[in-house]
Amino acid sequence: MSLLLAQAAVNDANIHFDKLYSYRIPAELAGRVFPGSMVLVPFGRGSKARMAVVLAVGEVDESDAPKGLKTLYDAAPEDARLTPDLLELVRFLKERTFCTWFEAVKAVIPYGAQYRPAVVDGRHVMQGRLTRSTERLYTLAGALPEKPKPGPRQLAAVAALQNGPLTARQLDEVGISRATLDGLVKKGVLTAAEQDKAIDLFAAIPFDPQPLELSPEQQQVFNDLLPNLEDARPHAALLHGVTGSGKTIVFLRLIQRTLELGRRALVLVPEISLTPQMIRRLKSTFGSRLAVQHSALNNTERLLQWRMIQQGNADIVVGTRSAVFAPLQNLGLIIMDEEQEHTYQSESAPRFDAHDVAKKRAVMENALLLFASATPLTETYHAAESGKLQLVQLTHRYGGRPLPSVDFIDMRAELAAGNPREVSVRLARELQENLDNGEQSILLLNRRGYRTIGMCTTCGHVLKCPNCSVPLVYHKPQQALLCHHCGHTVHPLPQTCPECGGKISYSGFGTQRVEEELAELLPGARILRMDQDSTFRKDAHETMLAQFARHEYDILLGTQMVAKGLDFEKVTLVGVLGIDSLLFGQGFRAYESVFSLITQVVGRGGRAALPGRALIQTSVPDHPVLQLAAAQDYKGFYREEITFRRFSLYPPFCSFVVVGFIGDQEGAVFIAAQRFGALLGQHAAQKPNIPLRILGPAPMNITMLNNKFRYKLTLKCRNDAAFRALLHETLDAYDAEKLPQKASVILDFNSDGDL
Ligand code: ADP
Ligand code: ZN
């Protein structure tokens, strides 16, 4: 007798025990269990029900079956299984990021499409996370009988459905209840059917295609890319275009061509705040076969959009990082706009970089992958320079507009002259000028809150989070101190030192403080503050940006979410505040990030008829990175940066991996990290040709987070299959010494120095 076995990866594993487990497939589930199937399995000593994903199915002879073989509890319907493409992406994530199988599964499908364990009539079964993603649709099917005399509500229902079917919700909105409708269904006057909920989230955006006429420079870029779009082979290219050069219109033409070729397009943007603008352009140009995937959608919306994609009803998908997994078939073009943004790297498991996944997909689908930026990552530009990516460039702003002029304001001089404010005299004056001229301004300050530090004036004690080794931030609306990492709140605001009773003084400034100063300095100015605190509401980004576009505000003040991609014609002044702390930040990408941030935000000004100018407040106006950013000299910056990377051995000249160790006892965490380093060194020494440098252990920048201690090893290496095998061996050896009990391990292949 032979029996059917499934090899499954279970949920809630960690890297130390993420193996495949064998289960017997019972006869009644045999037709439903395939590689990619979601199943419910008995796990561990108590045979607790856990979700799992099947990776292989096979037959074995009864006599060869493993001892103590357990039987699957349940399996999801066949149509819920991961397609071979998604399963391949799961394998890719597992192999490249050292996540668990199930973490990879959760990354590639939305929450709403997942299942959870339940018990029904004493049996273990699995249930969909979302059950109410369908709605009832009523259709007129016959005439209303004259007897008994129809009531007014019945007449109203029939009248409402005269012009075609409506959903229960639409009918409810005009006062027709479910009871009335179902009564009419019984009489045969109406029919009812369940359908997927309406999924056109952008019905309000009119289809209004404008001719896409390219400038000669844009046309050249398009022509250069076209052969690689048309030949249905995998290609990757970098579009390096200065801010305002019209990268978007080149995207639109490429998408248009992709659709003509009968293929589909995926557009990735780095932030939710940029999706409305992109959706508007795409929807008005191409109409309705457009879907979005980002985290501001609720679970139902996200699921419905995802199903729409999966069922082949979307030709274009727009979204943030996770949209890179959108199950588009026949993908011909992947665009990754503002490719330098760190938001393309996931900071929780699976710690993937969307660049890598996009490359993988381009290969799987024979698609053209286009990275685009005014300030590409040093690695990306290097790859383009050395011929690994096709390089196309837009060197001028559209319409011959000049790039904004940039000036520095020396904040040391400002302080010496006795200005106690964070907004300099000159910036305030120019903001006022803009106000008088009816022009708009954007101010960037990449710190939220009111005051960023509270310190005792007597003993110097800094008010820190009890769970995390970071200062607490004063938030004015709540009159409270907040931890930006764990959310810990202290209310009311402490006025005296918990150590010595001395007076607490609050200093450092965030967006709330600057908003207040602006209100004092510029009476009558309409100021819009945009940061994580002011945009937590759904649709807040879209609403606020639309208000600013309609000139309902004069000044847009915000964190990095105002720096990128936005295109407003009346913005002629850009101010940059509080940039110095980023310049002196840790991590080998600090300069690159500052250069990019300044170039991006400066590029928001002077994009239409009116010329733009930018003012950068700093205490180090002569800093070479600021000087290069002011000159908007990307190539100059790149040359400096690539020399530094080569000389100090950083990517692209090596791979950079951070191994994090996290546990309850600081000493034990340190020892575990040290032991991991030693094991890694020993195993590496037994192999030929594994280039490797191990640095540390050292405490992470935030040594304590959520009451856990954190140390790291930094590896400079060549991230290939041999190296990854070495890491696996080391993890096994670390396991064998029972060290995961002391400190769990996190591997990050995208870090710039810390986790
Ligand atoms: P980038 O993304 O390169 O910063 P955009 O794509 O936002 O630049 O273009 C900058 C501005 O120039 C936009 O307002 C855009 O509408 C306009 N523009 C660029 N190219 C064209 C074109 N070929 N025809 C009309 N307007 C264009
Ligand atoms: Zn905290």
Ligand nearest to the CA of 373: 1
pLDDT of 389-435, one tens digit each? 999 999 999 988 888 899 999 999 999 999 989 999 999 999 999 99
Residue 135 has pLDDT above 80, yes or no: no
pLDDT score at 406: 92
Q: Whose CA is nearest to atom 16 of ligand 1?
A: 246
pLDDT score at 365: 96
Is this prediction's pTM over 0.85?
A: yes
User: Which residues neighbour 298 within 8 Å (Cβ) at sequence distance 6 or greater?
Assistant: 538
Residue located via tokens 């959760």: 106
pLDDT score at 355: 98
Q: How far apart are CA 298 and CA 304, in angstroms?
A: 10
Cβ distance 98 to 41 under 8 Å? no
Q: 58 is written with which tokens?
A: 């096979």
Residue 526 is classified by DSSP as: -
pLDDT of 157-191, one tens digit each? 888 888 888 888 888 878 888 889 999 999 889 98
307-323: b (≥16 Cβ within 10 Å) or e: bbbbeeebbbbbbbbbb
pLDDT score at 616: 95
Question: What distance, in Å, lies between the first and last C-alpha atoms of the chain?
Answer: 52
Residue 133 has pLDDT above 70, yes or no: no
CA angle 335, 269, 394 (to 5 degrees): 55
Give the mean pLDDT of the chain: 92
> CA dist 13 to 8, 57, 101, 731, Å?
12, 21, 8, 15
pLDDT score at 250: 97
User: Position 525: which residue type?
Assistant: A
Q: Which ligand 1 atom minimizes the distance to the CA of 247?
A: 3
Q: Which ligand 1 atom minimizes the distance to the CA of 242?
A: 3
Q: 209 is written with which tokens?
A: 């295609």
Top mean pLDDT of 15-24, 114-123, 369-378 is at 369-378
> How would residue 307 be classed by pLDDT, with cut points 50, 70 and 90?
confident
Q: How far apart are CA 225 and CA 40, in angstroms?
A: 47
Query: How much is the average pLDDT of 507-521?
Result: 96
Pocket test for ligand 1, best of 567, 601, 602, 634 (most atoms within 8 A of CB): 567
Q: Are strands 70-71 and 48-61 parallel, antiparallel or unpaired?
A: unpaired
Q: Whose CA is nearest to atom 10 of ligand 1?
A: 244
Q: How far apart are CA 677 and CA 719, in angstroms?
A: 17
Q: 739 is written with which tokens?
A: 């060290």
Q: Which ligand 1 atom minimizes the distance to the CA of 337?
A: 2
Query: How much is the average pLDDT of 610-634?
Result: 93
Q: How far apart are CA 284 and CA 288, in angstroms?
A: 9
Cβ distance 39 to 75 under 8 Å? yes
pLDDT score at 131: 61
Using the mean position of ligand 1's atoms as its centre, give its distance from the Cα of residue 405 in Å. 19
> CA dist 103 to 8, 51, 108, 302, 695, Å?
14, 12, 9, 19, 28
User: Which residues neighbour 88 within 8 Å (Cβ) at sequence distance 6 or greater?
Assistant: 364
Cβ distance 239 to 247 under 8 Å? yes
pLDDT score at 200: 61
CA angle 146, 152, 157 (to 5 degrees): 90
Using the mean position of ligand 1's atoms as its centre, give its distance from the Cα of residue 248 in Å. 6
pLDDT score at 271: 86
Ligand nearest to the CA of 285: 1
Residue 134 has pLDDT above 80, yes or no: no
User: Position 394: which residue type?
Assistant: L
pLDDT score at 482: 96
Instruction: Annotate 340-376 with DSSP letters as a single string.
Output: T-GGGB-SSSS--BHHHHHHHHHHHHT-EEEEEESS-
Q: How far apart are CA 733 and CA 676, in angstroms?
A: 9
pLDDT score at 595: 95
Q: Whose CA is nearest to atom 18 of ligand 1?
A: 246
> CA dist 231 to 234, 329, 591, Å?
9, 17, 39
Cβ distance 362 to 85 under 8 Å? no
Q: Which ligand 1 atom minimizes the distance to the CA of 241?
A: 3
Residue 325 has pLDDT above 90, yes or no: yes
Pocket test for ligand 1, best of 248, 250, 610 (most atoms within 8 A of CB): 248
* Range with the poorest average pLDDT among 20-34, 195-209, 317-331: 195-209
pLDDT score at 398: 92
> How would residue 270 be classed by pLDDT, with cut points 50, 70 and 90?
very high
Top mean pLDDT of 108-122, 162-176, 468-482 is at 468-482
Q: Which of 279, 286, 266 is nearest to 546 (CA)?
A: 279
CA angle 122, 127, 132 (to 5 degrees): 130
> CA dist 24 to 66, 126, 324, 524, Å?
10, 17, 35, 73
Return the axis-axis angle of helices 84-97 and 101-108, rounded to nearest 10°. Answer: 130
Q: How far apart are CA 677 and CA 657, in angstroms?
A: 13
* Range with the poorest average pLDDT among 207-221, 296-310, 625-639: 296-310
Q: Whose CA is nearest to atom 21 of ligand 1?
A: 246
Residue 145 has pLDDT above 60, yes or no: yes
Residue 640 sits at φ, ψ, to 5 deg, of -60, -45
590-611: b (≥16 Cβ within 10 Å) or e: bbbbbbbbbbbbbbbbbbbeee
Ligand nearest to the CA of 602: 1
User: Position 747: which residue type?
Assistant: L
> How would residue 625 be classed by pLDDT, with cut points 50, 70 and 90?
very high
Query: How much is the average pLDDT of 571-600?
Result: 91
pLDDT score at 386: 95
Cβ distance 565 to 605 under 8 Å? no
Instruction: Annotate 570-601 with DSSP letters as a single string.
Output: TEEEEEEES-HHHHT-SSTTHHHHHHHHHHHH
Q: Which of 33, 45, 44 is nearest to 8 (CA)?
A: 33
Q: Are strands 473-475 and 655-663 parallel, antiparallel or unpaired?
A: unpaired
Pocket test for ligand 1, best of 222, 242, 249 (most atoms within 8 A of CB): 249
Q: Which ligand 1 atom minimizes the distance to the CA of 213?
A: 23
Ligand nearest to the CA of 472: 2
Residues with CB under 6 A from ligand 1: 213-215, 218, 241, 243-249, 398, 567, 607
pLDDT of 203-230, one tens digit each? 777 888 888 999 999 999 999 999 999 9
Q: 69 is written with which tokens?
A: 């073989």
User: Which residues neighbour 181 within 8 Å (Cβ) at sequence distance 6 or greater?
Assistant: 138, 157, 168, 171, 190, 192
